[in-house]
Structure 1
Amino acid sequence: MAGIRKFKSTIASALSNKEIAGGAVIAIDRHGKELLSHAFGQTSLDDDAHLFDLDTTFWIASSTKLLTAICALQCVEKGLLKLDEDISTVLPEWKDPQILTGFDGDGNAQLRCATEKITLRRLLTHSSGMTYYFMNPLIMRWRDSQGLAVGTGRVAEYMNPLVFEPGSSWQYGPSIDWAGAMLEKVTGVTLGAYMQAHIFAPLGMTHTTFRAKHDAEMRRRMVGRVGRNPTTGELIREESGLYPVKDNTDDLGGGGLYSCARDYIKVLTSLLLDDGKLLGPAMHGELFRGQLEHPEAFAAAATNRVVGPLFSPAFAASRGADSRWDYALGGAVVDKEVPGQAGKGTLYWGGLPNNNWWIDRENGVCGFYATWLLPPGDQITGKLMAELQKAALKEVAKL
């Protein structure tokens, strides 16, 4: 247990030095055995803050994407959706997508018709040509020119021009929200209702929902708002109001869920064990397989000094040119061993408030680092996530 003791000591030091406020971590091995289960610190910086525990609930943001991908692949298994069919057969609003190439001297948008089709596979891998408007100045300028509102909580808010030909590159965006919309069209139920029936209930997840605002128990367990001063590095009360606890109008498959460590680890464990509760063999394999037609586009983001902490938070020491990066249907893939930390084919991703998960099938371990801290891409949290992976791997090696 030396690795676990060292990790807990590292966490204790980070708390003592006020580098972090609180969180919870869980790691499981390929036999379903719990290697580590540890909650630490408090839920906020307030005087009346609660102790962080395994059932503390919080907005998991883009950690939602894995669950939406699972649901979409279940629909593929049922013949309701196809991975490589034009999504306009289900979503006619995407029949003739346009690509925004810039603006002319008079400020008029320059658009051209896409020649490649958007498919479910390209949605799930963020190679559809879509991008988050708040991450792309061109799309934000286009939206401003159209007088379009933001923060509506609707998938339709992401009905924007593309920024590249589908399949030709990679950019993070709302593709998974549209995958969730496809599911709702072919099943006739909301994404939340589908998840309840096909993920939450089968796995015994009782504290995961798109609708936390009006759930008294969820609100009672909800984490507070913690931020880090970007200049001094000190912890501060996060008061921007940018991400309040709210119930969106739509069930946003790209980032709308609230959950807790005890619930989320059940998804990761089921996928690690390949127990058949979520996916059959074919789609389980697809979930983990690198899929990008141009993986170098994601590699450029994952290894970039500025945005790398967002897209590869735990792999700061492994962002060299010899790294092999790709994106699968369920998250990013480190398609090369990171010695002492992650095996070849490790699938991982996380959520904007610095929660992170991984599934390492080669070494037989998965885990979740649960917290709520802004801004995203926090490097201290990324280092602690890396230490969690290393500690878990040491315990697996002993077994």
Structure 2
Amino acid sequence: MMADFKASVDSTTAGPDPEILGVVLLAVDGGGKEILAHSSGFTSLDPDANTIDKHSIFRLASCTKLITAIALLRLLSLPPFQPQDIQSALDDPALITTHLPELAALDVITSPPGSRMLTYSSRTQPPTLRHLLTHTSGVGYDIIDPRLRAWRKNRGERTMTLHGPLPEAVATPLIFQPGEGWAYGGGLDWVGVFVERVCGRKFGVWLREEVFQVVGCDGGIGFAREEVEGEVVMVVTKGKGGGGLKEHRVKEQEPGVERGGGGLFSSAANFAMILADIISPAPKLLSPSIADLLFIPQLTLSSPSLSSLQASASIFRSMSGPLMPENDVESINHALGGMVVTKDNEALGKSKGTMTWGGAFNCMWFANRDRGVAGFYGSSMFPPGDEGSGALMGGFLREVWGRIGEVED
């Protein structure tokens, strides 16, 4: 089985006209032992490019969000907070008004998408940290929602989601009342700002000292490209008309901007260390009970938030592959760390409880604390949802589940 899968990966990333520049596939158990490790392809389109491997550096994009969620839960489990009160802290609006007053002051856009005139109302309830982690706060992305683009235009501004300063880049009006919808947005950017203001250190410093060093990461992870140790894999895209791959230029972040929603660089090896820890029976970053909390579905049945999430299932389809059955959007929910699968899938077996998310450059991670398995798919393809990348992600998941099934048997 593995030989066939490796051949499929190699055929996609090798040859005179590869479909994908290079990929790294790394799955681990809770002790960090490799269950599956394979890499294929190169780090750039240069004729003398290096072979890609698990130490090559990828732009995580939205895969950053998991690490930010872990960082917040770790912060809330340390003094002056009390670990036993972490659930209360996640729902305490006073933490938002105290540390994120800009967010607390935002109104809600009431005009429907496509409206020429924007209308607003005051909030009926405050946003919370739980809302920010689960994309139910009403915080959107101005590059996605046309009303937020119109709001920027009315102010003589360009979209700021990806490249503006924080918190200004995500300080746009809410697109629904907190807790009454689901929309992919900048909630985790706000969480990064919250962590920074509470701990009194730059967010990147907090991550290095309280997350990366705790699990043993090397220098191949961080916010600033020039400070990350290792070669950053070139982002590529497909040429028009089947013209092969070409470089996709990525605008770098302004110095000092550290986005909890999408700014990190990391090797597969470092990301896998973090994944291994959150599925470990004795995690270092969080207590076992808080690590369990990271995976628990947060959206209640029949709620507008869950309905909105399920209506957005197409966002997750390319990265979740066989985790989410084709015609069963009811099998997904949102946990504190990412999308979570709530039903086993016959195509994989025991997959219930698997949490997953992806990024704009076709990276993807998954973790299942009950099964003790996690994995990272590293790639640098743009745009998100690339068909070939999605096929390899699906094959990766099937291969991993086949291997852990063999171990159980």
TM-score, normalised by the number of residues in structure 1: 0.90
Structure 1 match to 2:222: 209
Residues 1:84 and 2:97 aligned together:
no
Give structure 1 stretches of 5+ with no counterpart.
none
Cα distance between partner residues in 1 of 2:115 and 2:32: 61
Aligned pair partner of 1:329 in 332, 336, 339: 336
Residues 1:50 and 2:50 aligned together:
yes
Deviation of the 1:234 alpha carbon: 5.3
Alpha-carbon spacing, 1:156–1:364, altered in 2? closer, same or farther (3 Å): same
Cα distance between partner residues in 2 of 1:110 and 1:276: 47
Q: Secondary structure at the match of 1:369?
A: strand
Deviation of the 1:308 alpha carbon: 4.3
Mapped contact 1:313–1:377 kept (Cα < 8 A): no
Cα distance between partner residues in 2 of 1:51 and 1:339: 36
Q: Following superposition of structure 1 onto structure 2, how do residues 164-183 of structure 1 map, counting pairs within 5 Å? A: 164-183=176-195
Alpha-carbon spacing, 1:380–1:103, altered in 2? closer, same or farther (3 Å): closer
Structure 2 match to 1:116: 125
Mapped contact 2:106–2:171 kept (Cα < 8 A): no
The one-letter code of the counterpart of 1:225 is: V
Cα distance between partner residues in 1 of 2:157 and 2:107: 17
Cα distance between partner residues in 2 of 1:248 and 1:40: 32
Residues 1:13 and 2:11 aligned together:
yes
Deviation of the 1:339 alpha carbon: 2.5
Deviation of the 1:136 alpha carbon: 0.8
Structure 1 match to 2:288: 281
Structure 2 match to 1:32: 32
Cα distance between partner residues in 2 of 1:62 and 1:393: 24
Mapped contact 2:61–2:359 kept (Cα < 8 A): yes
Deviation of the 1:195 alpha carbon: 0.7
Mapped contact 2:65–2:261 kept (Cα < 8 A): yes
Mapped contact 2:317–2:324 kept (Cα < 8 A): no
Alpha-carbon spacing, 1:332–1:116, altered in 2? closer, same or farther (3 Å): same
Q: Deviations over 1:165-222 (max 9, x none)?
A: 111111101000101111111110111111111111111112101112355x44xx11
Deviation of the 1:247 alpha carbon: 4.9
The one-letter code of the counterpart of 1:200 is: F
Deviation of the 1:323 alpha carbon: 4.0
The one-letter code of the counterpart of 1:12 is: D
The one-letter code of the counterpart of 1:201 is: Q
Q: Following superposition of structure 1 onto structure 2, how do residues 1-399 of structure 1 map, counting pairs within 5 Å? A: 3-15=1-13, 16=15, 18-78=18-78, 79-80=80-81, 82-86=89-93, 87-102=96-111, 108-149=117-158, 150=160, 151-206=163-218, 207-215=220-228, 217-218=229-230, 221-229=231-239, 232=241, 235-239=244-248, 241=249, 243-293=250-300, 294-302=305-313, 304=314, 307-309=315-317, 312-315=319-322, 318-321=325-328, 323-341=330-348, 343-399=351-407
Q: Secondary structure at the match of 2:119?
A: strand
The one-letter code of the counterpart of 1:121 is: R
The one-letter code of the counterpart of 1:179 is: V
Identity %: 32
Cα distance between partner residues in 1 of 2:109 and 2:41: 46
Alpha-carbon spacing, 1:31–1:74, altered in 2? closer, same or farther (3 Å): closer
Mapped contact 1:226–1:235 kept (Cα < 8 A): no
Alpha-carbon spacing, 1:296–1:93, altered in 2? closer, same or farther (3 Å): same
The one-letter code of the counterpart of 2:118 is: A
Mapped contact 2:238–2:244 kept (Cα < 8 A): yes
Deviation of the 1:236 alpha carbon: 2.2
Alpha-carbon spacing, 1:50–1:244, altered in 2? closer, same or farther (3 Å): farther
Mapped contact 2:353–2:370 kept (Cα < 8 A): yes
Q: Secondary structure at the match of 1:363?
A: coil
The one-letter code of the counterpart of 1:197 is: E
Mapped contact 1:20–1:235 kept (Cα < 8 A): no
Deviation of the 1:97 alpha carbon: 2.3
Q: Secondary structure at the match of 2:312?
A: helix
Cα distance between partner residues in 2 of 1:25 and 1:59: 15
The one-letter code of the counterpart of 1:251 is: E
Cα distance between partner residues in 2 of 1:104 and 1:270: 42
Deviation of the 1:139 alpha carbon: 0.4
Deviation of the 1:29 alpha carbon: 2.6
Q: Deviations over 1:13-70 (max 9, x none)?
A: 2234722221111111345321111111112223232211111112111111111101
Deviation of the 1:233 alpha carbon: 5.3
Alpha-carbon spacing, 1:105–1:83, altered in 2? closer, same or farther (3 Å): closer
Cα distance between partner residues in 2 of 1:167 and 1:103: 18
RMSD after superposition: 2.3
Alpha-carbon spacing, 1:31–1:152, altered in 2? closer, same or farther (3 Å): closer
Alpha-carbon spacing, 1:234–1:170, altered in 2? closer, same or farther (3 Å): farther
Mapped contact 2:345–2:351 kept (Cα < 8 A): yes
